[in-house]
Amino acid sequence: METDRSLYRRPLPADLIDFSSPHGRRLLAEAIALGTAESFFPLVAQLHTQSEPAWCGLGTLVTVLNALEIDPGRAWRGPWRWFGEELLDCCKAMELARAEGLTLSEVACLARCNGAEAEVHHAEPGTLAQFRADLEASCRAPTGHFLVAGYSRGALNQTGGGHYSPLAAWHPGEDRVLILDVARFKYPPHWATVESLWRAMEHPDPATSLPRGWIGLSRAQTMPPAIDAEAEALAARLRVCP
């Protein structure tokens, strides 16, 4: 009889706090009271589970672009315009994204050509203070900018390699950040210390040899125009990275 080799979730490492645990709930309640969880509500309302093992970057962008209330300008299902992973069809072929995942710059490129402004920061030496400042500003902003972290799972004692997820809240007292993990089939949303996440972002991406890092995403000042159904297929083929 063949053994079932499929997987169902992973236990969180001891130094990470499950979002739904009593400790995790207390951290969120206190962050809400302090005003450092304003970004939590729009992000959790749109939290998307990545649909392919390598699509954490795409799943994260679906969450953030919908939380920013950006109109994709083209149909998703039926008459409805809404971001799904299949609409993020610029910068890198979907087949390559499925096989290889995305670099930090490719995630930013996808965001820009879908109506967002993207500020990329690599976790280089001396950038921890900037990350803290960006994190606090983001967590206090209910309409963005929102932060996306690109980090090494191994550095957080998780299984797997590079990963992307949105950051939704910050607890000043325990200096923890809430990671809304888009691989919800693997790990639940969880709290990590800011410093441990920054160290995980320091790890280089083998595809670029550069440190991983974070991206600040907000609505672009000039939104891309909507396109009709007849032009949709052509526009998808012609769309290029700005």
Q: Specify the DSSP element, H or E, that contains 149.
A: strand 146-152
Catalytically active residues, by annotation: 56, 163, 181
Residue 1 CA to residue 9 CA, distance in Å, equals 24
Q: Specify the DSSP element, H or E, that contains 152.
A: strand 146-152
- DSSP summary character for residue 13: P
Residue 103 CA to residue 208 CA, distance in Å, equals 8
Phi then psi for residue 57, to 5 deg, are -65, -40
Phi then psi for residue 210, to 5 deg, are -100, 155
Is 144:65 a contact under the CB 8 Å cutoff? no
Tokens of 86: 């299949």
Is 9:185 a contact under the CB 8 Å cutoff? yes
Q: Give the up-direction half-sphere exposure of residue 71: CA atoms within 13 A in the CB hemisphere.
A: 10
Burial of 60 (0-12, 13-18, 19+ CB in 10 A): buried
Tokens of 107: 């995630």
